Amino acid sequence: MTGDVFFDPGHMFEGFAFENIWFSDLLCRFDQGVLMTDDQGILVFYNAVQATIDKLDPKDVLGRHINDVYTYHNDSSTCMRVLAHGRPIINYALSYHSDNANVGNTIHSVFPLFKGDEIIGTICFVKDYNILERNIPKFLSPKNNESFASGTTFTFASIIGSAPEFVNALRTAKMAANSPSPVMLYGETGTGKELFAQAIHNFYYNHDKLYVDINCAAIPESLMEGLLFGTVKGAYTGATDRAGLLEAANGGTIFLDEINSMPLSLQGKLLRVLQEKSVRRVGSLQNTPLDCKVICSVNEEPKDLVKSGKFRMDLFYRLAVVYIHIPALRDRLVDIEELGRHFLQKYNQSMGKNLKNISAKVIDFFWQYSWPGNVRELEHIIESAVNLAGDQDHTLDLKHCYLANLLGRMETTDAPSPETCDIRSSVHPSDDACTPLKQKKETLEQTQILNALKATGGNVAAAARLLSLSRQLLGYKIKKLNLRAALNTIRYGENP
């Protein structure tokens, strides 16, 4: 680097006296590359590390459009994509060459910069992949399918997510791991309850002890009592002296998955075990002291389970000493791109493919899909797509996502089929009949969103709740459907 100018005052954001605040000095000293653009993609900040990565002088870069400085290999600018959709892109592998022909292999994390609800630019943090590979010791590299003495695989480091509600769940789980108190996990199917349970165990001071899990929904009621509490010989025909899973977990952790599937009669027996901290085998008169951490999960709202009589209230209070809600994927859409790339890397390795990234069209589909199967469904979609990708493909595209397209079509059940259309429409079509279905759908969506925004006085978060959407998804739709001017009119009475 030959220059010492890192920002372009002529293109700085309105009201942003960047050269006069400590923040600029912090970014200049950052140990990663940092660059910033305005809302048009003009580079307005470019630190020394980024200049070293690109082998460029900041004075030759600042004030220019980012697409004039970089040429991307089978990809597009992450900053321009963030400006377009308003969502962060985290840990994205990108190959490019700058206008001096220097080739960069980097990992980008790009975040939109807002002034109120308006995007005024982006900030991009850049890690040089070659430097990372040289400097990370081999013994720190994670091993695939690492297994612990307890038989578990996952730790908190295995869990991916930066959405605020999800981060709060992780923080609560870590605190719960330092206590012997019972933990209840609530989350829809596929949200990662088992990952949380294993991570809590492996963070617990007895992590070297046995971890025992049982899926209560998969065990027939006739077998569950003996399996959970154990049996003695002669208790019933064919019974033998055998410890139950609770006894086997003594000193360690037991995870009761989908405990809401447990019959009420066994819920009462489990409550007594928890109260007395001892277990009695079926057919025995002797109690065995029990000291294990109990983690359980439910896949329905606990208050609804109690209200409907499916779950004992006294057992709920005994088990939910620490209660953790794991949000659904549709409520943490900011994590979907990072999760997608994680699964892409996983199946790339197992199938010997060479896919580097996921296309913007696929990410847009992911943002608009409702994800009833949550993270598990996302993993299956990525696995299916990697199977269909060719050896020469470098980007996962919609053409690979047969399963995703199928699920998307299944979800759209309100679209009329050609067979159900009035035959007169084909002979004398009205103006409405000639309107493309996609346009009709967008018009209806615009109307519903505007009505919700009017009802809430332009409060996007409240409108999202009214429409049963996440705040992020509604913000994305407002931008996609060009409703920003209408939103300002609702809020401030401005002319669109």
Residues 131-135 have a mean pLDDT of: 49
Chain-wide mean pLDDT for the chain?
81
The better pLDDT of the pair 236, 309 is held by 309
pTM above 0.85, yes or no: no
Residue pLDDT, tens place only, 78-131: 899 898 888 888 878 777 888 776 677 788 889 998 887 788 899 999 988 665
Task: Say which CATH superfamily domain 9-135 falls into.
Answer: PAS domain (3.30.450.20)
Residue pLDDT, tens place only, 6-40: 666 555 554 454 444 556 677 777 778 999 999 89
- At the second CATH level, the architecture of 156-327 is 3-Layer(aba) Sandwich (3.40)
Residues 345-363 have a mean pLDDT of: 88
| pLDDT the model gives residue 216 | 92
- Cα–Cα separations (whole angstroms), residue 266 to 215, 234, 308, 478: 14, 21, 17, 50
Q: Which of 127-141, 216-230, 232-246, 376-390 has the lowest mean pLDDT?
A: 127-141
Q: 333-411 has which fold? A: Helicase, Ruva Protein; domain 3 (1.10.8)
| pLDDT the model gives residue 418 | 36
| pLDDT the model gives residue 496 | 41
The better pLDDT of the pair 149, 342 is held by 342
Residue 175 confidence class, pLDDT cut points 50, 70, 90: very high
Residues 249-272 have a mean pLDDT of: 94
| pLDDT the model gives residue 420 | 35
In this model, does residue 412 exceed pLDDT 60? Answer: no
Residue pLDDT, tens place only, 376-403: 999 999 998 899 888 888 888 878 776 6
What is the radius of gyration, based on Cα positions, of the chain?
Answer: 28
> Residue 337: what residue type?
E
**Opening angle at CA 21, ends 16 and 24, nearest 5:** 90
Residues 440-447 have a mean pLDDT of: 77
Q: Which of 136-140, 219-223, 342-346 has the lowest mean pLDDT?
A: 136-140
Range ranked top by mean pLDDT from 1-10, 191-200, 347-356, 462-471: 191-200
The better pLDDT of the pair 465, 138 is held by 465
| pLDDT the model gives residue 171 | 93
Residues 193-198 have a mean pLDDT of: 96
The better pLDDT of the pair 474, 170 is held by 170
Q: Are 46 and 55 in contact (CB under 8 A)?
A: no
- Residue 467 CA to residue 188 CA, distance in Å, equals 20
